Structure 1
Amino acid sequence: MATRRKVSNLLGLAVLAYLSRQPMHPYELGRTLKSNGDERSIKYNHGSLYMVVQQLAKAGFVAPWETERDGSRPERTVYALTDAGRAELHDWLCELIEQPQREYPSFIAALSLVAGLPPSEVVPRLRIRADELAEQIAEARGVIDRSLAEGVSRLFLIEEEFRVAMLTTELDFVRRFIGEINQPGGYGRMWREFYEEK
């Protein structure tokens, strides 16, 4: 069963994970998230990152470690992980790995309502989706190949491998669905009759 967390934004989990390596300023955290390609897995922007760091500090998971000044620039607070933050990181990661959570992807919602459009409109849109999925698969495989060539361990690419597996499964489903809509005895016959399509 999922725990009700003081900070539930997955960006908070990423901040805890990076601060477990070393204390950082939020700006440095943002650079690290970006350079590691985490925006492909975790939704964030500059403003939300600062807000999450403040939430984590309020919850006692991170604390100011030092304040530094670079020339005439404003002071910057460097944050470090607390013992409570280390425990939260551990518990939260364990929970996410072991507990499947009900998610509400928009494509599943669209499929549940797909009969609201005639098959003649659905099939071309599914073909567009299939093309986009194929591009995303190629992009993720490119990230993996480039990173491996640079000596990055596969362990640090596991989310990209999972992304390729999920996108490939979705692409296979979309192609099968198109085939079944177009098949004489498939979904499409009754569906087309409802819309009086030939």
Structure 2
Amino acid sequence: MKDTVDRLTPMGVMVLALLREADMHPYEMVRLMRARHDDRLITITNGTLYHTVARLQKAGLIDELGTDRDGNRPERTTYTLMDAGRDAVIAWVRRELPRVDRPAEFRVALAEAHNLERDDLRELLHERRAALFADHRTHYDGLHSSRAKGVPEQVMVEIERQEALLEAELRWLDSLLARLDADSIPWGPSAFSPSDRYLAQRKAAQQ
């Protein structure tokens, strides 16, 4: 499983996560990703997605259900998620959530964190908080020490920015953990209830 997870790209994780929702064809995947503005997180192109789908199938994480044609449209192959693919999504998200050295991967992991159960998510986020706190303390102490030594402010602006970003993320993370602890957010796969907007979005993507 580790080798499989290590080879997963953020695009691959998002494709597997889509197939956790339902069986679908690549064209629907692309439309859903764009409708959900997932291009904030990854670069979405038809070529990259089709290549990713082929790689996931070769790895045994997804499989073809069948091919159909609707009117004059090109043939569309529908894919389904295999058990190995379902496990790979969870393993990848669990690996990336606590890490503070891979910001791009963390954003994708956080976007897919709803695939985890509440207790699992809380544990991973507490691990992340400990790492963030240590990183923030290093930047904070470094800034104050440098200022005390008379280091010019103009050479410390990047450190200053990073310290501020780390402090802001710690505040946000504490807020999220408090809401998770208070059960004020419905969480986990079993807590998801398809809204009218979600169903309309899915229907539009299938056209």
Instruction: Name the TM-score, length of structure 1 as normaliser.
Output: 0.50
One-letter identity of the residue aligned with 1:64 = E
| Cα distance change of structure 1 residues 188 and 20 upon mapping to structure 2, 3 Å threshold | closer
Structure 1 residues 72 and 86: CA distance shift in structure 2, 3 A: same
Max radius of gyration: which structure? 1
Aligned counterparts of 1:84 and 1:55: Cα–Cα separation in 2: 14
Change (3 A) 1:104 1:82: closer
Structure-1 separation of matches of 2:82 and 2:47: 23
Quote the residue 1:5 is aligned against.
4
Distance in 1, Cα, partners of 2:82 & 2:4: 16
Output the aligned Cα RMSD: 3.5
C-alpha spacing 1:35/1:70, structure 2 compared with 1 (3 Å): same
User: What's 1:187 paired with?
Assistant: 152
Change (3 A) 1:189 1:31: closer
Unaligned runs of 5+ in 1: 106-154, 156-172, 191-198
1:26-175 equivalences in 2 (<5 Å): 26-98=26-98, 100=99, 102-103=101-102
- The answer (yes or no) to whether the contact 2:30–2:49 under 8 Å persists in 1 is yes
**Greater RCO, 1 or 2 (C-alpha within 8 Å, sep 6+):** 2
Q: Provide the rounded CA distance (Å) in 1 between the counterparts of 2:58 and 2:49.
A: 14
Q: Paired residues, what number?
A: 118
Identity across aligned pairs (percent)? 34
Q: Which amino acid in structure 2 is aligned with residue 5 of structure 1?
A: T
Q: Is the 8 A contact 2:67 2:78 kept in 1?
A: yes
Tell me the CA shift for residue 186 of structure 1. Answer: 4.0
Determine the C-alpha separation between the residues in 2 that align with 1:187 and 1:46.
49
What secondary structure sits across from 2:97 in the alignment? helix
1:90, CA displacement in angstroms? Answer: 1.5
Q: Secondary structure in 2 aligned to 1:63?
A: strand
In 2: Cα distance, 1:28 partner to 1:63 partner:
16
* TM-score of the superposed pair, with normalisation by structure 2: 0.48
Superposition misfits of 4+ residues, deviation over 6 angstroms: none
Residue 158 of structure 1: aligned partner: none
Determine the C-alpha separation between the residues in 2 that align with 1:95 and 1:49. Answer: 23
